[in-house]
Structure 1
Amino acid sequence: MGLESGRLLLRRYRDEDFEFLYSLLKQPEVMRHIGDGKVKSRQQALEFLYWIYRMYREHPEHGLFLLVRKEDGKRIGHAGLVPQSVNGQTELEVGYWLAPEFWGFGYAREAARLLCERGFTKHGQSALISLIQPDNHASQKVAEALGMECGAPVLRTGLYVLVYRVQKERWHAISHT
């Protein structure tokens, strides 16, 4: 799967992208709002890459995809549609991470908008979610820009995360104005 927006190309991870992935996973400022908030070792990063590959096999249209800036081919982060279990229900999450040097330029919003479009049109979802830690205000702004509203928190990996959700009708009304 390859997706394109105005400034970004989303493509599947390949083995040669490992060093970039590891560079994200070992940065405290990136990981503080992801999972348990801890940086990952090289071995844990390799296990995460294998998880990404398993996701591609098990859910060919879903998973985390590398974000590449079209103007210069630079890897800037990743984003994707990932199945998540929330209160016993499987829902599709719009997720996004960027390397810190690319924060604040609207790349996460651009990628997330593209993924919402795909989730609603190609995958026929009636709603999409984003799981966001309470102190991750930048991700909350991205979710709110997509029309997502904050619901009740859920417990994930020992921490509470906020469940942001947008219904298809609301997203279409907001994204097409």
Structure 2
Amino acid sequence: METERLVFREYTKNDFEHLYMMTSDPNVMKYIRHGNPWTKEETMQTLERFIERNKMGTGLFLAFDKEDKQLIGTSGLIPQVIEGTNELEVGYWVRELYWGQGYGYEQAKAWKDYGLQLGEKRLISLIQHGNEGSMRVAQKNGMIHEKDVDIIGKNVAVFSIEV
């Protein structure tokens, strides 16, 4: 899949450095999972999960700039279980170097549109409180703040869109 500026591709075993570039950055990881940079071991375990999910057509995919081939971030459709209900999350991260340039929205919109093309009637984004940039991206992407839920010990906002 691609957008005006981005091309997406599946993770491979050779992408450890790409993923670790993001997971080792405290600013990128501030609102991801436990909120701290990941160890190399945690990153490798996660990379293996990403590769498995990609084989099923879900999970996060790498996003590269079409022109200069630089890694911009990672995004995709992530299966989640929220309060006992199966959901599909539009998830996105952007490397700090590219913050404020519209890449979060570009990724989120692409995956929302793709999910709707697949026939999904409802999509969500899970955003930790304090992550105002991602909340603005979700709203610009047509999502509304539906409720708050507790996930892995954190209170998280659920943004959703239904068709």
TM over 0.5: yes
Structure 1 equivalent of residue 125 of structure 2: 130
- Where structure 1 has 5 or more consecutive residues not aligned to the other structure, the ranges are 169-177
CA RMSD, 1 decimal: 0.9
The CA distance in 2 between the partners of 1:41 and 1:78, in whole Å, is 18
Q: Is contact 2:11-2:54 (8 Å) kept?
A: no
Give 1:94's aligned residue: 90
Q: 1:82 corresponds to which residue?
A: 78
Quote the residue 1:156 is aligned against. Answer: 151
Shift in Å, 1:147: 1.0
> SS in structure 2 opposite 1:101?
helix
**Residue 73 of structure 1 pairs with residue 69 of structure 2:** yes
1:62 corresponds in structure 2 to 58
Match of 1:24 in 2: 22
Q: How many residue pairs end up in the alignment?
A: 163
The 3-state SS of whatever aligns with 1:104 is coil
In 1: Cα distance, 2:161 partner to 2:138 partner? 9
Q: Does 1:43 align with 2:41?
A: yes
Residue 45 of structure 1: CA displacement? Answer: 0.6
* Counterpart residue identity of residue 97, structure 1: W
Question: Identity percentage over the alignment?
Answer: 37
| TM-score for the superposition, normalised by structure 1 | 0.89
